[in-house]
Amino acid sequence: MQVFTCPFCGPRDETEFHFAAEAGKKRPIPAEAVTDDEWADYLYMNSAPRGAAREVWLHVTCGEFFLMMRNTVTREVAEITPLRGRTG
């Protein structure tokens, strides 16, 4: 069992968390000008990096979204930062 640290609740079991998305995706705007390819890229396409990753995670039990930097091979967590208050 791996333990992740929710910025709001503190350390909790991995089963309470859900991987949400790779970080850094920018929703294309304005909607009426977005092509099918741009929209598909935003919705579906990923890097799935081997090694260092920067991801958005959800602590399901409290609803907190946060940023997690971790290694996808060793599973080591480098850094967790809250997303609250961020606009971009």
Residues that bind another protein (CB under 8 A): 1-2, 13-15, 17-19, 36-37, 39-41, 43-51, 53, 55, 72-75
Of 18 and 84, nearer to another protein (C-beta) is: 18
Beta carbon of residue 44, minimum distance to another protein (angstroms, whole number): 4
Which of 51, 47, 58 is closest to 24 using CA atoms? 47
Which of 58, 61, 62, 55 is closest to 77 using CA atoms? 55
Beta carbon of residue 31, minimum distance to another protein (angstroms, whole number): 15
For residue 59 the two structure tokens come to: 């602590």
